[in-house]
Chain A
Amino acid sequence: MIGLLVLVPLLGLIPSTWTWNPRLFETLTTTVSMIAVLTLLNHLIGYVTGKAIAFRAGRLIRYMELLISLPLFLPVLLLSFGLYLTWIRLGLADQFIGVLLVLLLPTLPYTIRMYTNAFQALGEQMMEQMVLIEPSRLKRFLFLTGPMMRSAIQSVTLLVTVIALSQYALVTLIGGGVVQMIALEAFPLYSGNSLVAAKEATIWLLVLPFLIYFVQLILLEGWVQVVRRLLDGRYDSARQ
C-alpha cells in the first residue's frame, strides 16, 4: 500500500515523446562539477568532524555540535542575503566558489550528522582495535574505516546531490545567474505553460541523483573488491 503511494506518482514521469532541451543540457557541466566538488568537500569535512563528535567527550564538543547544526534550524536563504553582500566585497559573488561555499550551509550539517551516527554505530572499541592493527592513517582508511563506512558514504552523496539540485533561490542569489545550475533552467519551466518541457526537466532532476548514486555504487564495490584481494590472508596469522 505504502509502496504504491510512493511509486504511482512517479509513473507520470515516463516520457511519452522524446524531447531534448539543449539549454538544460548546457547546465550539466556546471551542475555536475558543482555537485562533485561539493560532495567531495562534504565527505572530507564531514568525516573528520563526525568522528570528533562521536568519539570526543566534554562540554566543548557538545557546543560545537550545536553550532554545526545551526543551519538545519535557521533560515539559510534569509542569512544568505547578508552573505551575498560580503561575497561581493570578497569578490566571491557570481563565482563558482562563492556558490560552492554557500551550498555547504544546507548540506554539511546533514553530512556531519550521518557520519556521526555511522561512527557511533561502529563504536569506540572497534576504532581502537583498528588503530592498533594499522597505524598508518591512509592505509587504515583505505583498508578498514572506508569500506566499513560504505553505507554512510552512499547516503551522504545522495543527500548532498538532491539538496544541491533543488536550490533555486540560493543559486540565483549568490550565483547571480552566471553560475548556471540545472535548477535555474528547470524552475522557470515549471511556472511556464509547457508540461512537456517541465517533464523533461523533472526527469533530469530524478535521473541525475540515480546516476551519481550508481556510479558511486560501482566505485565503492570496486574499492571493496580491491581491498579484499589485497588483504587476502595478509593479516590473518592463522593462515601462515
Chain B
Amino acid sequence: MWRGNAWPATLLITGMVGYGLFVSLSMTTWEDYSRLFRDPVFLESIGISLYVAVSSTVLSVLIGAWLAGFFAKQTGWTAQVLAIPLFLPHLGAAYLAILYLSDLPVISPHEVNQFSIILTYLYKEIPFIFFYLLPVYRRLDHRYEELGLMLGLSRLKRFWHGKGVFLLFPVLEAAFIVFAFTLFAYEVPALLGVTYPKLIGVYTFDLYTQGDLSRQPEAFAISVLLTGILFLLLVIFTRTIRPLTERISKGRVE
C-alpha cells in the first residue's frame, strides 16, 4: 500500500465538477443556447476575452520558457527573485496595476485595449511558467543533441529530437493552464476592465449574481457551453500531443 491511492481525490474532484455541470445543464433549455449565439453582447465578450487570454498566454509562455532555458544552465539565487510574484495574490497584482498604470496613457486601467490586464497577468504568469518549466529544462539530456550532431542531423531535427519532444507537452500544458485561467478569471478584469464589453468571467458572474433571476439560465448556459468547449479542446490536446511524445519518454530510464 505504499504506492498511494488516487481514489479520494478523483471522486472528490470529478464529483464536484460533474455535479456542477449536471446542475447547470438541468437548469437550461435549448432555447437558452440558441439565444446565446444571437446575443451580440455575449459574442463580443467572448471576442475580447479571447484576445486577452491568447495574448497573455503567448507572451508569458514565450518569455517564461526563454527564462527557464536561460536559468537552467546556471545555478544561483538570481532565479529565486522570480519567485517573489508567486507570493502575491492576483488581487494584489491588480492593485499594483491600479497604483502604477492609472496616470499613464494607453496602458492605464479601464482602457479598451485591456493592456493593464495583460500586463498584470504577465507579472503573475511569467514566474508561474518559469517555475513550471525549469525542472523540465534541467532534466533535458544534452547527450541526445550530441548524438544528433554525430549522426549529422539538421539543426531543426537535432532540436526536435534532443529537446522538442521533451518540451512540447509540458510547454503546451502550461500554456493551456494559463489560457484557461486568463480566459475565465474574475478578479483582475473586474478591477481593471472596462464596463463594456466585459470579459466573459465578469459578464457571466454578473449575470448570475444580479437580482434579476430571469437572466440566470443564460449564465448556466454559458457555463455549460464553455465547459464543454474547453473539455473538447482538452481531449483533442491529450489525444494528439501525448502519443507523439510518450513513445520517446517511455523508453527513457529516469
Contacts and interface: CB of A to CB of B under 8 A. Distances in A.
Contacts, number: 239
Interface string B67-81: 100000000001001
B201 interface: yes
Helix, strand, loop or mixed for chain B's interface? helix
Given A6-B85, A78-B24, A82-B223, 8 more contacts: A51-B4, A70-B231, A74-B231, A76-B184, A78-B222, A86-B23, A165-B91, A195-B99
A183 B48 CA distance: 26
Given A7-B81, A78-B184, A169-B205, A159 B67 contact: no
Interface in B5-61: 5-10, 12-14, 16-17, 19-25, 27
A162 B184 contact: no
A91 interface: no
Interface string A68-97: 101111111111111101100000000000
Interface in A98-148: 101-102, 104-105, 108-109, 112, 117, 120-121, 123, 127, 131, 137, 140
A144 to B, nearest CB: 11
B234 A73 contact: yes
A162 B176 CA distance: 20
Interface stretch (A22-30, A42-50, A218-226, A232-240): A42-50
Q: Of B8, B87, B234, B254, which is in contact with the most chain A CB atoms at under 10 Å from its CB? A: B87
Contacts of A9: 96, 100, 123
Nearest to A110: B177
A51 B2 CA distance: 8
Contact of A6 (B82, B94, B208): B82
Interface of B: 2-10, 12-14, 16-17, 19-25, 27, 67, 78, 81-82, 84-92, 94-96, 98-100, 123, 127, 135, 176-177, 180, 183-184, 186-187, 190-191, 201, 204-205, 208-209, 219-220, 222-223, 226-227, 230-231, 233-234, 238, 254
Nearest to B219: A81
Q: Of A64, A66, A78, which is in contact with the most chain B CB atoms at under 10 Å from its CB? A: A78
A2 B180 contact: no
B20 A82 contact: yes
A169 B254 CA distance: 42
24 contacts: A10-B88, A45-B12, A56-B3, A61-B6, A67-B13, A68-B9, A72-B176, A73-B180, A73-B230, A75-B226, A79-B16, A79-B227, A82-B27, A83-B20, A105-B17, A109-B13, A120-B254, A121-B135, A165-B91, A169-B186, A169-B205, A173-B208, A191-B191, A198-B98
Interface of A: 2-3, 6-7, 9-10, 12-13, 45-56, 61, 64-68, 70-83, 85-86, 101-102, 104-105, 108-109, 112, 117, 120-121, 123, 127, 131, 137, 140, 158-159, 162-163, 165-169, 172-173, 183, 186-187, 190-191, 195, 198-199, 201-202, 205-206, 209-210, 213
Contact of B186 (A108, A123, A168): A168
Nearest to A65: B6
A65 B173 CA distance: 14
In the A-B complex, list the 4 residue pairs whose CB atoms are closest, starting with the nearest: A51-B4, A82-B23, A52-B4, A79-B20
B204 A49 contact: no
Contact of A131 (B2, B27, B67): B2
Given A68-B6, A72-B177, A202 B92 contact: yes
